[in-house]
Amino acid sequence: MKRSIIILFFILLFFELLSGNLLIDVYHHNYGIIDRTVLVFDSKPDYSISNDEKKILISAFDTRKLPEVKTKKLAENKVLSEFNYSESLEKLDISIVLNHEYQRQKGHQYSFSTIELPGEFFKLVFDIFANYIPTNEEERKSFISFYEKMGKDQKAEEYRKLDLAEISRTIPEKPSPKASNNIQKQEIHKTEKKSISKKPEQTIKPAEKKKEIVKKYSEQDIQAEAQKATRTFNNAFLLFSIGNILVVIVYFAIKKFRNKNELQTENWQETKSTEKEIYHPTEGFGDVEFQKEMIKKLVEEKWDPENIAREMNLTEERVKQLIMPQFSEHERDIG
């Protein structure tokens, strides 16, 4: 019983794992004060996004990651400092840790936007800006480079013509992260999703080239894990089936053994009764002549009717009937 419960538990756990999602890869590309980070899943998970001044937290529910996806520190990156992960039975937490020190030094406030790219693999894209608008020539170049790589030449041209002196005079006070996100989406990225959907190849092509080997390796890992999980399920189901079959066999064997013992007991009792009748007949043994002959010999040996009856398994009356002449002669001899 306990073994059956354990096997059932592992079968349910297997289905739970099989029905979940898998984080296959995390990669990024830096454009100065802008960083594009891509999370690659085998299928779209249920997820939520939260953020504070130090990190962006993605909680992917009913999701686990490949072992190859590990914590990674990012050196010489003005936007990000680290990717790290925390797994539990319910969810996978993915933290995109920001370069808070650079933001503090520059007095910048980051902003970000997200894009979903469905396909053979589901990709969740984060475009993260160390500042929502360039404030110097170096930052302007970052914006221009980013939009050129994304295939948005018109947007890149807008930043080429941007008057930095005017921005520095009119730049507002440092916004909150949520306000920064709103400004970013309204003023800078209001056509982002539309452009990505029209030119998905241009958007993800550079990153995909760099991660082609990792992607192929990840696909092999998925197939290997799926095969391993299938074998595990088959073995568990086979053990469960064999266990049930053995239980049924043992049950019927015990039942058959008990029925056989009962039948043998009944037969033995019947046989014993029959043997008693055979070996101890109430009418003696042999025919009348044989009985007379035997009685005659026993009388000559001076046996009395009671002992003769007991020896020959006859009634005393029957013995007297058969031996009356012999017995009378014997009594006369005694007299």
Q: Residue 202 pLDDT more than 90?
A: no
Query: What contacts 168, CB < 8 A, 6 or more positions away?
Result: 135
Q: By the 8 A CB rule, do 77 and 100 touch?
A: no
Q: If pLDDT is split at 50, 70 and 90, which confidence band does 101 have?
A: confident
Highest CATH level, class, for 20-216: mainly beta
Residue 207's alpha-carbon distances to 33, 83, 135, 139, 143, in angstroms, are 17, 17, 27, 22, 18
Q: What is the pLDDT, as a whole number, of residue 91?
A: 94
Distance CA 251, CA 263 (A): 18
Backbone region of residue 313 per phi and psi (left: phi > 0; alpha: psi in -120 to 50; beta: other values): left
Residues 10-24 pLDDT 10s: 554 454 555 589 999
Q: pTM of the prediction?
A: 0.48
Residues 52-94 pLDDT 10s: 989 999 999 999 999 999 999 998 898 999 999 999 989 999 9
Across the range 192-208, mean pLDDT stands at: 45
Q: What is the pLDDT, as a whole number, of residue 128?
A: 95
- Break the chain into its structural domains and give their ranges: 20-216, 288-334
- What mean pLDDT value characterizes the chain? 75
